[in-house]
Amino acid sequence: MNPILIAGAGPVGCTLALFLAQNDIPVILLEAQDSLPQDLRASTFHPPTLDMLAKLDLVEDMLSVGLKVDNYQYRDRRTNEIAKFDLSVLEGATGHPYRLQCEQYKMTQIVVDKLEAFPHAQVRMGTRMKGYSEVDGGIEALVQNADGEELVKCDYLVGCDGANSVVRQASGVEFEGMTYPERFLVASTTFDFGDYFEGLSMVNYVSDPDEWCVILKTAGLWRVLVPTPIEEDDARFLTDEFIQDRLHRLAKNDVDFDVHHRTLYRVHQRVAKTYQARDRVLIAGDAAHVNNPLGGMGMNGGVQDAINLAEKLVQIINKGGDRQDLLALYSRQRRGICTQFIQEHTMKNKALMEATDEATQVKRQAKFMKACSDPVLARAFVMETSMINCVRDSYLIT
Ligand SMILES: Cc1cc2nc3c(=O)[nH]c(=O)nc-3n(C[C@H](O)[C@H](O)[C@H](O)COP(=O)(O)OP(=O)(O)OC[C@H]3O[C@@H](n4cnc5c(N)ncnc54)[C@H](O)[C@@H]3O)c2cc1C
């Protein structure tokens, strides 16, 4: 057989490639950049995603470079009320009743290292997917590296090439939705917010009428995510002056913060019209759906796509499963859960965090306080926010 060609070595393409390689299916994983991109996007892996990654033998390695988080909180900066949710309530529903804070680039590096053990898996760095045509029951993809262009024959092509997916665009699949007017600024620092704020967790959603933020701990650093004002110039948001000002407003510090990384992100809510772009062309992860990062569901949803798709490709290729039925089912299940749950949930999270009227703020915190203090409500809340319910529900879609 010809290999499965996967465009994009982000967390989604890497997961798909490793699953297929472990099932003896030849794969080529293309990455446009010369080395794996390192950026300040995803760091939170939810319990059901860890259950899936454990089957690929990834979790121990990820734990060795990440942080195990057994609770997270919603904190109101006006009143200092803290609603803390303990993930141990998930015992029995998952083998991993915790969140793992591990930067996505650490996960992709672990996968690429593991792929070396499989002679039928190739990773081609510095190789960009440019387009494709459907030929003789397969696909001919046009790829480009430093030496020039090449046509690669494959049985299936999967676009895991991010929000600006060439595979999605070359297939003419609409990417419906909207782009937020503000940007999200992420800065990391060695300043210990855990020492500064009493009772801070490693994952904190902090509401405030003027300056809501998310404060996260990763191995050795704290990350702060803030929205930027809408009407101003992007260039200003990455200056020392702007970042120091935002951090000083969050925590009083006699000296300037030691800022390690800074990145400005444009954020969208979009879902592709179908995840089966053509008979043998699929899309997954950000290529298929994007959402705001509140709740950490973008990469998690994408990794869950990759697992769902890999299971179906293994059924088709190794067990003679019906290609048409299984690939259409992949699209229905993963697109369905994205529109029904992930999009709705993340939009609601953002609307709640940024609400400026006092009545909504009071109601929001009261809801969180009530949920965390009642064991039944707390478990229901954590089952939902940790994505256990949505993974289960996706497999119920027929
Ligand atoms: C500030 C921020 C914080 C976030 N935090 C979280 C979080 O904690 N948890 C969570 O679940 N999600 C989070 N997300 C979302 C998450 O980062 C994305 O959903 C995730 O990166 C998607 O993974 P992916 O593999 O689909 O795409 P990407 O990570 O974008 O990877 C795509 C890869 O494809 C490569 N590529 C692109 N075009 C081509 C081409 N033509 N040919 C070959 N290769 C190509 C790119 O170089 C890249 O390596 C966050 C997002 C933001 C902006």
Rounded CA-CA distance 30/142 in Å is: 12
Please work out whether the CB of residue 391 comes within 6 Å of at least one atom of ligand 1.
Answer: no
Q: What is the pLDDT of residue 39?
A: 81
Q: What is the dihedral of CA 296, 301, 307, 310, to 10 degrees?
A: -140
How would DSSP label each residue in 344-397? HHHHHHHHHHH--SHHHHHHHHHHHHHHHHSHHHHHHHHHHHTTHHHHHHHHH-
For 338, the token pair is 């994205």
Rounded CA-CA distance 80/204 in Å is: 13
| Burial of residue 369, with CB atoms counted within 10 A of its CB: 0-12 exposed, 13-18 middle, 19 or more buried | middle
Residue range 10-51, pLDDT digits in tens: 999 999 999 999 999 999 999 999 999 998 799 999 999 999
Say if residues 286 and 12 touch (Cβ distance below 8 Å): yes
Closest residue (by CA) to atom 30 of ligand 1?
162
Residue range 162-201, pLDDT digits in tens: 999 999 999 999 999 999 999 999 999 999 999 999 999 9
The phi, psi pair for 41, rounded to 5°, reads -85, -120
**240 pLDDT above the threshold of 90:** yes
Other CB atoms closer than 10 Å to residue 386's CB: what's the count?
Answer: 29
**114 pLDDT above the threshold of 80:** yes
β-strand pairing of 281-283 with 156-159: parallel
Say if residues 242 and 203 touch (Cβ distance below 8 Å): no
For 247, the token pair is 């951090």
How would DSSP label each residue in 197-211? STT--SEEEEE-SS-
Single out the residue of 331, 219, 210, 234 nearest to residue 280, CA to CA: 331
| DSSP label of 296 | S
- Residue of 228, 286, 390 with the most ligand 1 atoms within 8 Å of its CB, for mutation: 286
| Distance of alpha carbon 48 from the chain centroid | 13
Single out the residue of 340, 362, 254, 333 nearest to residue 291, CA to CA: 340
Rounded CA-CA distance 7/125 in Å is: 11
Q: What is the pLDDT of residue 208?
A: 85
Single out the residue of 209, 112, 128 nearest to residue 162, CA to CA: 128
Average pLDDT over residues 112-132: 98
Please work out whether the CB of residue 295 comes within 6 Å of at least one atom of ligand 1.
Answer: no
More confident residue, 162 or 230: 162
Please work out whether the CB of residue 124 comes within 6 Å of at least one atom of ligand 1.
Answer: no
Say if residues 245 and 151 touch (Cβ distance below 8 Å): no
Q: What is the pLDDT of residue 209?
A: 79
Q: Give kind and range of the element (H or E) at residue 189.
A: strand 175-189
Q: What is the pLDDT of residue 211?
A: 83
Q: Which atom of ligand 1 is nearest to the CA of 216?
A: 8
Rounded CA-CA distance 284/223 in Å is: 27
Please work out whether the CB of residue 283 comes within 6 Å of at least one atom of ligand 1.
Answer: no
> Nearest-5° angle of CA 182, CA 258, CA 296?
45
Q: Which atom of ligand 1 is nearest to the CA of 37?
A: 49
Rounded CA-CA distance 284/313 in Å is: 13
**68 pLDDT above the threshold of 90:** yes
> Nearest-5° angle of CA 144, CA 148, CA 150?
60
For the chain, list the domains and their CATH numbers. 4-69+102-176+269-355 (3.50.50.60)
Rounded CA-CA distance 326/315 in Å is: 8
CA of 33 to the centre of ligand 1 (A): 13
| Distance of alpha carbon 124 from the chain centroid | 23
The phi, psi pair for 49, rounded to 5°, reads -70, -40
Q: Which atom of ligand 1 is nearest to the CA of 263?
A: 1
For 340, the token pair is 């029904």
Q: What is the pLDDT of residue 210?
A: 81
How would residue 113 be classed by pLDDT, with cut points 50, 70 and 90? very high
Q: Which amino acid is at 93?
A: A
Q: What is the pLDDT of residue 40?
A: 76
Closest residue (by CA) to atom 6 of ligand 1?
42
CA of 376 to the centre of ligand 1 (A): 35
Q: What is the pLDDT of residue 354?
A: 86
CA of 162 to the centre of ligand 1 (A): 5
CA of 390 to the centre of ligand 1 (A): 21
Q: Which amino acid is at 184?
A: F
Residue range 314-366, pLDDT digits in tens: 999 999 999 999 999 999 999 999 999 999 999 999 988 888 888 888 888 99
Query: Which three-class secondary structure string do you get for 31-54?
Result: CCCCCCCCCCCCCEECHHHHHHHH
Integer CA distances (angstroms), 142 to 7, 149, 150, 386, in order: 11, 7, 6, 39
Mean pLDDT of the chain: 96
Q: What is the pLDDT of residue 347?
A: 95
Please work out whether the CB of residue 313 comes within 6 Å of at least one atom of ligand 1.
Answer: no
Q: What is the pLDDT of residue 46?
A: 98
CA of 378 to the centre of ligand 1 (A): 31
Q: Give kind and range of the element (H or E) at residue 5.
A: strand 4-7
Residue range 241-264, pLDDT digits in tens: 999 999 999 998 999 999 999 999
Q: What is the pLDDT of residue 310?
A: 98
Q: What is the pLDDT of residue 356?
A: 83
Provide the residue count of the chain. Answer: 398
Residue range 289-320, pLDDT digits in tens: 999 999 999 999 999 999 999 999 999 999 99
Residue range 73-112, pLDDT digits in tens: 999 988 889 999 999 999 999 999 999 999 999 999 999 9
Total-model pTM: 0.97
Q: Give kind and range of the element (H or E) at residue 185.
A: strand 175-189
